[in-house]
Amino acid sequence: MTAIQTNGLTKRFKNHVAVDEIDLTVPSGSIYGLVGPNGAGKSTLLELLSGFRSPTAGSATVLGMDPVTERSQLHLGILFTQRTMYRRLSALEHVRSAIALHDSQLDAVELCDRVGLRADTVSRRVGSFSTGQLQRTKLAIALAGSPPLLLLDEPTAGLDPDGVKRFERIVHAERDRGATVVLSSHRVHLLESLCTHVAVVRDGTITSSGPIDSMESFAHAVEPAPAPVYSPSGGAE
């Protein structure tokens, strides 16, 4: 069983190819890590899988559905790095709305507590939140529908060590529930300890992928590609 299958998935922006003919297979029930330097194409890949962007070429199947033309988002939990929330609404209002949209039976207060949002914080406007509090709120929203697939872009960005540990526990619990988790991160140690599978993304392509046991250390993956050195005459050496 595969949760995600892409074939030649490509996204081009004017003169820049962000995702270049990616073939990706994410097994159901796995915790799949995407690792790579900034600008490698991880976020664009997740945006394509979530249906917010249409591919220039190729195709993606998410939980058996086309994410652009079908309503696959009802079965996804999505966390993006950007704010993606209403500044003047509280964390609790966001989480309640997300639960209602998924027609879920979860309790919003309990869910906020699960991600580590304190009781005195949940009623505050998210516009006044720190990065870590925003990240916890976004995680609660992603979990609101108890989705079979979580797409998490840099989910630990801005979290303190306690928040990262809590996040790891949540991901393991979600996997135990039967969910598939796809996450991108710069934190190599986090991916090594958390993921069952890893794909190294570089310059819009996947350079290596597979079960984590079969992969050699991928610490090098987060290092940016060396910048070209230019000679005084203007040509690249």
Partner 1 sequence: MMSVVIVFRNEFEDTIRSLHAGGIVVALWLLVAAIVVFDRAVYAAPLRAFWDVQLGLIILAPVVVSSLCYGAIVDARTSRRLCFHLGNGVTRLEYLCGAFLARWAVVIIATESAILLGYIIAALQYPTPPSFIAVVGFSVASTGFVLAFAGVYVAISVVAQQQSTAMVGVVLVYVALIPFVIGISDFSLSLLVRTIGEQLGAGVTDSTVQFVSNLTPYPAYAGIAKPVFEPIAAQYPRLPEQSSGAPQTLTAHWWFDVLVLSAWMVLPLAIAYWRFSRDDLL
Binding residues for partner 1, rule: CB under 8 A, are 47, 50-54, 71, 73-76, 78, 80, 82-89, 93-94, 97-98, 100-102, 125, 141, 144-145
Pick 123 or 207: Cβ nearer partner 1: 123
CB 113 to partner 1: min, Å: 20
Pick 145 or 204: Cβ nearer partner 1: 145
Pick 54 or 214: Cβ nearer partner 1: 54
Distance CA 19, CA 17 (A): 6
Start-to-end CA span in the chain (Å): 47
Q: With beta carbons less than 8 A apart as the criterion, state whether 6 and 58 touch.
A: yes
CB 117 to partner 1: min, Å: 16
CB 103 to partner 1: min, Å: 8
- In order, the DSSP letters of 77-90 are EEE-SS--S-TTSB
* Structure tokens belonging to residue 1: 């069983």
Q: With beta carbons less than 8 A apart as the criterion, state whether 194 and 184 touch.
A: no
Pick 9 or 222: Cβ nearer partner 1: 9
Angle at CA 24, nearest 5°, toward 23 and 30?
A: 170
CB 88 to partner 1: min, Å: 4
Residue carrying the six token digits 């079979």: 148
